[in-house]
Amino acid sequence: MYPVPREHGSMPSLESLIRRNSEDWDPAVERAIFGTDDSHHIAGMIEGLITERCGPIADAVFYRPGVGVVAGVRLVEGSEVVAKVHRDNVSAERLEAVHKVQALMAECGLPAPRPLVGPTRLAGGTAIIEELLCGTGANGRDPFVRRSLAHGLHDFAMTTAPLVGRVDVGSPNLIRPPEASLWFEPHDLRFDFEGTSPGAEWIDSLARLARRRLDQPDPNVVIGHFDWRIENLSFNGAEIVGIFDWDSVASAPETFVVGVAAASFTADWSTRTEPDPLPSVSEMRSFVEDYERARGDPFDRAQREALDAANLVACAYGARCQHSDVTRHPELIRAPIPPYIRLLRERGEQALID
């Protein structure tokens, strides 16, 4: 979730925000995109693009690295904008397709930030700029918020239905052809699956089981958001007023979209106030039930089996990432048992929905 802007004049510079982050976190993604971790040069490149395309900057609002880097600023004329710079593993064509999805949702009145600047080369990455929508955080374990999340995901899929087959937003990495390797390149540079394979055999076994169950074709394809959790949304009470992280948009069967979202809808990894922010198995089931109510039609047996397999592979991928962290970056794990490893053990092979 993007932070809520503070009053004008009370914010540090973008350079200082980048420098502060580098002191707390390995700036590997900055080096991958900009070829340097020098905060002055990185801030200059981001501010230069925003100034050229949107106007002069008054203040920095926030800076956050992750899969790419995201910077929010307030312009002199008063509006706030967000620049996200992607690594070179994201194509401009895919970002253009995502912008079409985002623009349609904004036009239809859903809480999607309007795209302002399409994919633009910046250093070794590709940048986009959009408006900043503000709101507050929420507790994903609150039944009213959970219901809002499930209904919001259904609204997302239904609103974007006219674009299915017309825009190529790609498929989520979790969907793999039968002949492909079990795992793809992890989404974050800090994860090393190959180098941390010892001890992860039980995770890989469950992932293979899920992959076999997903081999059956499902024609009900939608465009969904594959990081649908409270960290990537902003709220007014239980109402969603902002949707972020648009590079997580992809096409997949509706059951896959819901199964993946159920595995992490409660999570906000940015606040670091809750050691284990992931849902329980019962909370995952309740999320699916809330989605079925929004849908107005429960999933049939075959669809529930597909949803279950998608949920299992999502939990297994998260556990594989945290197994890598336990091995290479144990200081990043704050819960007694890493959350995805806890959830995967709790869930096991059991069916999520009977």
326 Cβ contact list (under 8 Å, min separation 6): 333, 338, 341
In a domain, 342, yes or no: yes
Helix (H) or strand (E) holding 209: helix 201-213
In a domain, 96, yes or no: yes
Better-predicted residue by pLDDT, 336 or 272: 336
Say if residue 41 is in the same domain as residue 108.
yes
Domain count, the chain: 2
Query: pLDDT tens digits for 31-54?
Result: 999 999 999 999 999 999 999 999
The answer to whether residues 73 and 56 touch, using CB atoms and an 8 Å cutoff, is: no
Say if residue 328 is in the same domain as residue 217.
yes
Say if residue 95 is in the same domain as residue 22.
yes
Q: Dihedral of CA 290/226/191/331: which sign?
A: negative
Q: For position 86, which CATH number holds?
A: 3.30.200.20
Say if residue 68 is in the same domain as residue 149.
no
Say if residue 222 is in the same domain as residue 337.
yes
In 85-114, which positions are buried (b, 16+ CB within 10 angstroms) versus exposed (e)? bbeeebeeebbbbbbbbbebbbeeebbbbe
Query: pLDDT tens digits for 95-111?
Result: 999 999 999 999 999 99
**DSSP letter, residue 190:** T
Average pLDDT, the chain: 92
What pLDDT was estimated at residue 10?
55
Which of 38, 69, 137, 33 lies closest to 60 in space, CA to CA? 69
In a domain, 222, yes or no: yes
Say if residue 72 is in the same domain as residue 220.
no
Say if residue 278 is in the same domain as residue 230.
yes
Residue 44: phi, psi to the nearest 5?
A: -65, -40
Query: pLDDT tens digits for 221-263?
Result: 999 999 999 999 999 999 999 999 999 999 999 999 999 999 9
Say if residue 52 is in the same domain as residue 125.
yes
Query: pLDDT tens digits for 283-317?
Result: 999 999 999 999 999 999 999 999 999 999 999 99
What pLDDT was estimated at residue 4?
46
Say if residue 165 is in the same domain as residue 304.
yes
Integer Cα distance of 308 and 299 in angstroms: 11
- 34 CB neighbour count, 10 Å cutoff: 21
The parent domain of residue 313 ranges over: 143-183+191-347
Say if residue 105 is in the same domain as residue 206.
no
